[in-house]
Amino acid sequence: MKIIRVLRQGDAVSYLTYEDTLDSSDRVIEGAPSLEELADLCDLQAEQRNNHDYVGVHRLLAVLLYRQIGREAATTAIFWIAEHGGLDGMNGVGGATRHFDSAFSELGVPDPWKVWKLV
């Protein structure tokens, strides 16, 4: 899913959303998303899908990645997760199955239900 920054008519602050949720009154704003914005987007999407166990997980992962590998690499990783619907969407939790198969195959795990090993 393509992530965009929009400014809704009447709002003072822009926010991130997915292109397929764009409203006709929204104005697309240029600018790279921050690590924090991407983690917030994923958590908000999990909340909207009633996957409450995942709310906050993306923020925790963002902090951990930031401390372990730095802002740029952490932002790249969380951006990839956000493009695939967040961790709940990638894992097919609570009906968020839109990206389940593609996330595993893109990560090189053809059948996540079998024994697998990272190489």
How far is residue 74's CA from residue 68's CA, in Å, rounded to a whole number?
9
- 3-state class percentages of the chain: helix first, strand second, coil last, to nearest 5: 50, 10, 40
- pLDDT tens, 44-73? 999 988 889 999 999 999 999 999 999 999
State pLDDT tens for residues 11-31.
Answer: 888 889 888 887 777 888 888
Instruction: Compute the distance between CA of residue 92 and CA of residue 84 in angstroms, rounded to an integer.
Output: 11
